[in-house]
Amino acid sequence: MNGFRAIDISPRTRRHHYGKLSVPTPHYAKALRGGRRGIALNSQPSSLNSELRTPHSALLPMSNPVIKIEGLWKEYRLGVLSHGVLFRDIQSWWARTRGKPDPNVRMDVAAKQIAHNGERFWALQNIDLEIQQGDAVGIIGRNGAGKSTLLKILSRVTSPTKGEIRIKGRIGSLLEVGTGFHPELTGMENIFLNGAILGMRRHEIKCRLDEIIAFAEIEKFIDTPVKRYSSGMYVRLAFAVAAHLDPEILVVDEVLAVGDIAFQKKCLGKMSDVSRNQGRTVLFVSHNMGAIGQLCQKGVVLDKGKSVFCGKASESISYYMNLHRNDADAKEWNRTGSGRVRLMSAALFDSNGKESNLFGIFDSAILRLSGVSHINVEFIHSIQIVNGFGQPVIYSSDQVHSLSVCAEEAFTLELEIRRLNLMPGKYSIDVFLGVTGLEYLDFVRGALSFDVVQSDKVNITSPLSERYGLVIEDYPARKL
């Protein structure tokens, strides 16, 4: 069983420990002999009984993995939809069997169904992953890489096509706006509903009720049906419920982007507390590399449904940034100017001379600009670092030392950035080449982008963000 074992424990704590996959909800528990042991998401159900009969003399592992994924695959068939009603599903199947149009399909997707009907698509391919108790793991990847599919399988929203997942502990998940909420019930009733799904008793939920309502900041609307909530209110209540009902594993998709900036920071702080101070496991999906670097110790990079890298969060972010560097370089830059001198490439290098798009807040960097001139000219250069909100943060210009080039000459400039002094977040660099007061030769917006994370090398324990300022300094002080 590779270090896992089924344990016969008392009913009080049984919902916390499972031999293979914990599913603490009563309707799963009744399907098994011996009480609330859980089930396995396994392509071979017959292996369940043999796992539950593992002898008590089996040795427990020294490590404490709470999630173990082996050979996980998930397949979808494009154009094949479920209508949620058995009659309509049968009606659609009968129409397809006879070669007739599907009577239940919408007009705007009919053409897509004709083009892709039955085509198979692998959303996840052979995923192997092990996550230890207390880990905060960032799931990174482009849109369509399989991140949300993986979290949905872990949360039992959908089932895998084949493979095996072993989970120990309850999962609290925040996947999509409204997931797990009944629209006709009030916010208060949905809190108790979610607690019941997690296997909690009513008095346990009541102990957390005031904390949940206060965190969500929707006291005035807690007795209103959630169908009247805005998307932001949905997210506030959903995250508060998921984080405060004591799940051993907290799963959060990028749905937090719906909330306002202040609430996002509040949620990141809560997830950090849950992982570091309470010893719970957090799985976090986000396109914000600064948030991943700030919250997570480990990272997993998915690409086209495959796990291509697993390691430290900083290493995972760096791998992801470099993975699609060529795709970004191939895109047409947003540029203006006469074009008589043109920027051809831009790259950042770390203190070791290695090309990188990930830096710490006080790291040094080298910016290398390469271009070509079509005329004999002396020009100057300037750069502007812009944050993720489009705000200029740093401007650098050398108005004194101009560069002289000949016609059809290629050139390279290196700019030394002694210290970035930037808050964690995503940044881009604009590059200007021109003749002072006379001509814009080339002005490229977003020539390259990079991420700044809060490095472990910096002796700052609290999470940093742009609410403290756009740049950061560590001015020394001495007692007079």
Give tens-digit pLDDT for 175-219: 766 667 888 999 999 889 888 877 778 888 888 888 888 888 888
Q: How confident is the model at residue 148 (pLDDT cuts 50, 70, 90)?
A: confident
Measure the CA dihedral 385/387/391/397, to 10°: -10
**Amino acid in position 102:** D
Say what the pLDDT of residue 260 is: 67
Distance CA 226, CA 304 (A): 36
**Phi-psi label, residue 165: left if phi above 0, alpha if psi -120 to 50, beta otherwise:** beta
Lowest-confidence range among 22-26, 211-215, 225-229? 22-26
Residue that is last in its domain, among 269, 299, 325? 325
Evaluate if residue 464 carries a pLDDT over 90: no
Q: Is the dihedral of CA 214, 219, 222, 223 positive or negative?
A: positive
Evaluate if residue 7 carries a pLDDT over 80: no
Q: How confident is the model at residue 463 (pLDDT cuts 50, 70, 90)?
A: low
Which comes out higher in pLDDT, residue 478 or 443?
443
The whole-number average pLDDT for the span 290-298 is 81
Q: Are residues 282 and 222 in the same domain?
A: yes
Lowest-confidence range among 15-19, 305-309, 454-458? 15-19
Q: Are residues 320 and 338 in the same domain?
A: no
Tell whether 476 is covered by a domain: no
**Amino acid in position 416:** E
Range among 106-115, 323-332, 408-417 with highest mean pLDDT value: 408-417
Tell whether 101 is covered by a domain: no
Tell whether 192 is covered by a domain: yes
- According to the 3-state scheme, what is the secondary structure of 225-261? EHHHCCHHHHHHHHHHHHHHCCCCEEEECHHHHHCCH
Tell whether 110 is covered by a domain: no
Tell whether 373 is covered by a domain: yes
Say what the pLDDT of residue 301 is: 92
Q: Across the chain, what does the average pLDDT equal?
A: 76
Q: How confident is the model at residue 321 (pLDDT cuts 50, 70, 90)?
A: confident
Q: Are residues 283 and 360 in the same domain?
A: no
Q: Are residues 294 and 352 in the same domain?
A: no
The whole-number average pLDDT for the span 145-162 is 88
Say what the pLDDT of residue 242 is: 78
Range among 17-21, 50-54, 102-106, 181-185 with highest mean pLDDT value: 181-185
Q: Are residues 306 and 367 in the same domain?
A: no
35 closest CA partner among 22, 45, 47: 22
Q: How confident is the model at residue 80 (pLDDT cuts 50, 70, 90)?
A: low
Q: How confident is the model at residue 302 (pLDDT cuts 50, 70, 90)?
A: very high
Domain that residue 369 falls in: 334-468
Evaluate if residue 249 carries a pLDDT over 70: yes
Evaluate if residue 384 carries a pLDDT over 90: yes
Specify the CATH number for the domain of residue 415. Answer: 2.70.50.60
Tell whether 460 is covered by a domain: yes
Q: Are residues 406 and 315 in the same domain?
A: no
Q: Are residues 339 and 321 in the same domain?
A: no
Tell whether 270 is covered by a domain: yes
Say what the pLDDT of residue 179 is: 66
Q: Is the dihedral of CA 42, 48, 52, 53 positive or negative?
A: negative
Which comes out higher in pLDDT, residue 366 or 460?
366
Q: Are residues 354 and 450 in the same domain?
A: yes
The total of structural domains in the chain comes to: 3
Tell whether 8 is covered by a domain: no
Distance CA 454, CA 461 (A): 10
Q: How confident is the model at residue 324 (pLDDT cuts 50, 70, 90)?
A: low
Say what the pLDDT of residue 108 is: 45
Residue that is last in its domain, among 325, 356, 378? 325
E-assigned strand segments in 116-186? 119-132, 136-140, 162-167, 171-174
Range among 71-80, 167-176, 409-418 with highest mean pLDDT value: 409-418
Say what the pLDDT of residue 85 is: 62
Say what the pLDDT of residue 69 is: 92
Taking only Cα atoms into account, the Rg of the chain, rounded to an integer number of angstroms, comes to 27
Evaluate if residue 462 carries a pLDDT over 60: no
Residue that is last in its domain, among 303, 325, 347? 325
CB-based burial, 171-191: b 16+ in 10 Å, e otherwise: bbbbbbbbebbeeeebbbbbb
Which comes out higher in pLDDT, residue 177 or 48?
177
Say what the pLDDT of residue 82 is: 57
The whole-number average pLDDT for the span 67-82 is 80
Quick one: DSSP state of residue 62? S
Q: Are residues 267 and 230 in the same domain?
A: yes
Evaluate if residue 50 carries a pLDDT over 70: no
